[in-house]
Amino acid sequence: MMTFDEQVHADVQRTLEEDVGTGDLTAALIPADRRAVAAIICRESAVICGRPWVDEVLRQIAPNARPRWFLDDGDRCEPGQKVVEIEGVARELLTAERTCLNWLQTLSAVATKTAHYVEAVEGTAARILDTRKTIPGLRAAEKYAVRCGGGMNHRMGLFDAILIKENHIAAMGGLAAAFNAALKVESLVSFIQVEVETLRQLEEALNAGVKMVLLDNMSLEEIKACVELAKGRCSLEISGGVTYENLRTYAETGVDRISVGALIKDVDAVDFSLRFQEKPVEQQRN
């Protein structure tokens, strides 16, 4: 597995290859010694996310550029607020522009939506989690954005935790058999979770000693019954049918976790723009 820094480097390298290719033909028209100061401005209220990727774009395209960040990942910004100012070679800043903005607009969108969901359950015991419903190749970045928005990550992939779903149960010949098989490798994974679809299945899971249960696509009344049955014997997570409009109602049932695929797969890009400035601003965030 790659480290975080290695993942960011690979992400940026891949996105620059698709955008820059063999070279930026338009930026090459600008004299090589022309310097500039550019500011990235957020045009709407948002939670900022993407700084490591922007910094990496500059390292790869404009290694001598000097970014001055006024906001960090996880900070909130207002419309028209300057996020970062960059001094460097003009043609390099122009080449880096779109890739920097793409990372910021995408990851800030995830962070902002996550923050809205987290705020909606404030005061309850429920925590907001993401899912594996991510854009292929961007999972680590998008899950980082969820954390910046105040959410929690579910498993990163199929390799770090066990989630026993209905088809696993069917293939193994029963819930208890599948769970007992998972216990044999418990020390190698971050958690073992079992998905149930009925109150009867929850009772079976509790009797088997399951400590993490996912309630799949249950009605509000069914969830309340499951909370009453579990009574702290296991953590309960709900998934499926959750919207921003009904989120608070589900959270008030007493469940511990709510996983929401929409945090990542149903977002609107945050509006950023890059503009050349006359001179750099001296104040900066350390």
167 and 105 fall within a common domain: no
27 and 90 fall within a common domain: yes
260 and 135 fall within a common domain: yes
Residue 67 is assigned to a structural domain of this protein = yes
Report d(CA 271, CA 108) in Å as an integer: 9
240 and 138 fall within a common domain: yes
Check if 165 is active-site. Answer: yes
131 and 215 fall within a common domain: yes
CATH value at residue 41: 3.90.1170.20
Report d(CA 161, CA 95) in Å as an integer: 40
Residue 128 is assigned to a structural domain of this protein = yes
194 and 73 fall within a common domain: no
Check if 133 is active-site. Answer: yes
In the prediction, which pLDDT does 286 show?
44
222 and 211 fall within a common domain: yes
Q: In the chain, which residues have pLDDT < 70?
A: 278-286
Catalytic site residue from 82, 132, 147, 165: 165
Buried b (16+ CB within 10 A) or exposed e, 157-188: eeeeebbbeeebbeebeebbebbeebeeeeee
In the prediction, which pLDDT does 282 show?
45
Residue 255 is assigned to a structural domain of this protein = yes
Residue 237 is assigned to a structural domain of this protein = yes
Neighbours of 259 (CB within 10 A): 21
- Whether 237 and 69 have beta carbons less than 8 Å apart is answered as no
Residue 52 is assigned to a structural domain of this protein = yes
Residue 261 is assigned to a structural domain of this protein = yes
Report d(CA 191, CA 162) in Å as an integer: 6
Phi first, then psi, for residue 88 (nearest 5°) are: 180, -165
In the prediction, which pLDDT does 273 show?
98
130 and 107 fall within a common domain: no
Neighbours of 11 (CB within 10 A): 20
Q: What does 130-184 look like in DSSP terms, one character per residue? A: --S---TT-HHHHHHHHHHTT-B---SSTTS-EEE-HHHHHHHTSHHHHHHHHHT
- 31 burial (CB, 10 Å; 0-12 / 13-18 / 19+) is exposed
Residue 285 is assigned to a structural domain of this protein = no
Place of tokens 């100061």: 37
58 and 155 fall within a common domain: no
Residue 284 is assigned to a structural domain of this protein = no
Sign, Cα dihedral of 227, 233, 237, 240: negative
In the prediction, which pLDDT does 279 show?
58
> What is residue 205's three-state secondary structure?
helix
Catalytic site residue from 35, 76, 82, 133: 133
Catalytic site residue from 76, 98, 233, 248: 98
Side-chain-facing half-sphere of 278: CA atoms under 13 Å: 0
107 and 153 fall within a common domain: no
Q: How many domains does the chain have?
A: 2
CATH value at residue 248: 3.20.20.70
Per DSSP, what are the bridge partners of residue 272? Answer: 42
**What residues make up the domain containing 241?**
118-265
168 and 259 fall within a common domain: yes
Catalytic site residue from 19, 44, 197, 216: 216
108 and 51 fall within a common domain: yes
Catalytic site residue from 56, 92, 195, 256: 195
How far CA 257 is from CA of 60, 103, 129, 176, 242, in Å, comes to 39, 28, 7, 23, 12
